[in-house]
Chain A
Amino acid sequence: MFRYVFRRLVSAVPTLLIIVTIAFFMMRVAPGGPFDQERNLPPEIEANVLKAYGLDKPLVEQYLDYVGGLLRGDFGPSFEFRDFTVRDLIFGGFPASLQIGSMALLLAIIFGVAFGAFAALRQNSRVDYAVMTLAMTGIAIPNFVMAPILTLILGVYLSLLPVAGWGDGAWVNKILPVVALALPQVAYISRLTRGSMVEVLNSNYIRTARAKGLRERIVVGRHALKGAMLPVVSYLGPAAAAVVTGSVVIETIFEVPGIGRYFVLGALNRDYPLVMGTVIFYAMLIIALNLVVDLIYAWLDPKVRLE
């Protein structure tokens, strides 16, 4: 297994290099520079500014500098947040993003599986239809619509929760962002779980388990659920990616001081190193998460052998 992990990590290197290269050259080919908005600078000062950020060197040299810096963990300086390096910003924002993202994912798995299994056990009943309609609604309403609506109801009308802000990480401030981030994934996972659970419940080994006279709780909990979890586990990779992408919007709406907000601010202000740094960081995160998901999958399903 360690050889498999090692090989996967090695094969991630070219992928990352492609990402870095595309992002870097896209940034340089683009018309307009980050310092265009500043009022007409005298040529000498402009030259100095360019020099300070290494923008006066030939393109290839800049590229090599950037890649070399990345290897040392240096993402370059931020143009917009002067005095901060991109690394400071990313590592400063990561804890908040990680908390929200992992809590949302956990919530999505727990509730998604529970709702899906619940609906599957009462297939074609009213409960089943109600759960599935709700799930469809969760998929159809994007999180950037859900978030303001939740805010309006729980924050403004009922005054139960703070409307936005981080409050230095108080848990009441995390509820709305986490819920808004988790809801679409709850919907997806419950649909997936229901589908595979219905299939598993009709399979032979469940009939055998019932024929042996096992109690329904054990049939469902120990046998059916485990088999039904496989598609859910393989969905976790895309789910994690969706949570990461969704966090960009959610952090902006709720003013969470995480990476997603820096990404948006960087994008709106043409802060190229910041945008690139966050994209590369996200790419590494998604690759790592996919690896973890594959390992869990292999552990759950003995038919899958990691070569």
Chain B
Amino acid sequence: MVGLPGTGDALAGVAEIEGRSLWQDALARLLRNRAAVVAMIVLSIVGALAILAPFLSPHPFDEIYWDRIQAPPDFANGHWFGTDGNGRDMFVRTLYGARVSLMVGLLATGVSLLIGVTWGATAGYFGGRVDNFMMRFVDIMYSLPFMFFVILLMVMFGRHIWLIFIALGAVEWLTMARIVRGQTLSIKRKEFIEAAHASGIGSFKIIFRHVIPNVLGPVIVYMTLTVPQVILTESFLSFLGLGVQEPLTSWGVLISEGARVIETAPWMLIFPATFLAVTLFCFNFLGDGLRDALDPKDR
């Protein structure tokens, strides 16, 4: 996302000579949307802060300062966000929380993307009984109270971070599969698919080379909206004490710790909560902007 504004300018110059592709059109529309651009900038700042976390603070994330337990924010000693109940620096812990939260959000979305797109495209392309069976399965999965299964999974198999990725990804792919199936159904009757078919290309190659690239628009939009949802779910799990474990941390863990001492140490809640809210806010704005940009029919 960091490079997008720059490439936009470059494209604008090229456009006069060459004519614009649909993607260039979409990009131009996106860059005209002020809320989406601000959201992208803020998200890249949060991302950069998360990546550079160890270099930005004089304090390591798991160092305990016995003489500064629950100290309020203080610029003199470098605890810009104060310290937590164990005397650890909140600034660097918030950024490490950002690492975990963003990583969970992106990876779990990746998992859901992989399953959902493949599943939906396959069901939509083959149609008939295959479609019926595959989508019936999705319907059944939909009616399960999944949140509770994720919790059940975390309770029974321990709270490993990889399990969170897989569990959340496995939950979030259902809607993606439905979206992709619908798009595939409308695309598979088009002439270029028929042409590919006539030239003897195998079904799976057609799906991956010709169908999927053409359904990417809605997929990207929905993906942008899945990331905040996953981050929210992870925070929810962590808040209940079922997410990532010490000394690692995530925004959900920090918020739950902060919520307990809100009367005496509000900074422990306010900073991680602000980061979480701003990030979710930006992903939602970016998703809305992308929808407007990629789907001009909706305007």
Chain B 238-254 near chain A by CB (<8 Å), digits 1 or 0 = 01111000000000100
B147 to chain A, nearest CB (A): 5
A152 an interface residue at 8 Å Cβ cutoff? yes
Chain A 267-278 near chain B by CB (<8 Å), digits 1 or 0 = 110100001101
**A-B interface contact total, Cβ < 8 Å:** 112
Cα-based distance from A15 to B137 in the complex (angstroms)? 11
* B266→A152 contact, CB < 8 A: yes
Q: Which residue of B lies closest to A145 (CB)?
A: B273
Cα-based distance from A290 to B140 in the complex (angstroms)? 13
Give the residues in chain A near B252, CB-CB below 8 Å: 144
* A30→B156 contact, CB < 8 A: yes
B208 to chain A, nearest CB (A): 31
* A15→B263 contact, CB < 8 A: no
Q: SS class of chain B's interface: helix, strand, loop or mixed?
A: helix
Give the residues in chain A near B276, CB-CB below 8 Å: 142, 145
Assuming the contacts A144-B255, A267-B240, asked whether A26 and B152 have C-beta atoms less than 8 A apart, the reply is: yes
Question: Out of A26, A31, A140, A145, which one reaches B281, CB within 8 Å?
Answer: A140
Q: Which residue of A lies closest to B157 (CB)?
A: A30
- Contact-residue size bin, chain A (C-beta under 8 Å from the other chain): 35 or more
B193 an interface residue at 8 Å Cβ cutoff? no
B284 an interface residue at 8 Å Cβ cutoff? yes
* A137→B281 contact, CB < 8 A: yes
* B269→A148 contact, CB < 8 A: yes
Q: Which residue of A lies closest to B240 (CB)?
A: A264
Give the residues in chain A near B228, CB-CB below 8 Å: 140
A273 to chain B, nearest CB (A): 12
* B148→A282 contact, CB < 8 A: yes
B133 to chain A, nearest CB (A): 15
* A15→B284 contact, CB < 8 A: no
B258 an interface residue at 8 Å Cβ cutoff? yes
Cα-based distance from A290 to B144 in the complex (angstroms)? 12
* B148→A279 contact, CB < 8 A: yes
Give the residues in chain A near B269, CB-CB below 8 Å: 145, 148-149
Assuming the contacts A139-B284, A156-B263, asked whether A145 and B240 have C-beta atoms less than 8 A apart, the reply is: no
- 15 CB < 8 A contacts A-B: A30-B156, A136-B285, A137-B277, A137-B281, A139-B280, A141-B280, A144-B256, A145-B255, A148-B259, A152-B266, A263-B148, A268-B242, A278-B148, A279-B149, A290-B143
Q: Which 3 A-B pairs have the closest CB atoms?
A: A30-B156, A148-B259, A140-B281
Beyond the given pairs A136-B281, A148-B269, 10 more chain A to chain B contacts, judged by CB atoms under 8 angstroms and listed by A's residue number, are A19-B145, A31-B157, A140-B281, A141-B280, A142-B276, A144-B255, A245-B145, A275-B155, A279-B148, A279-B149
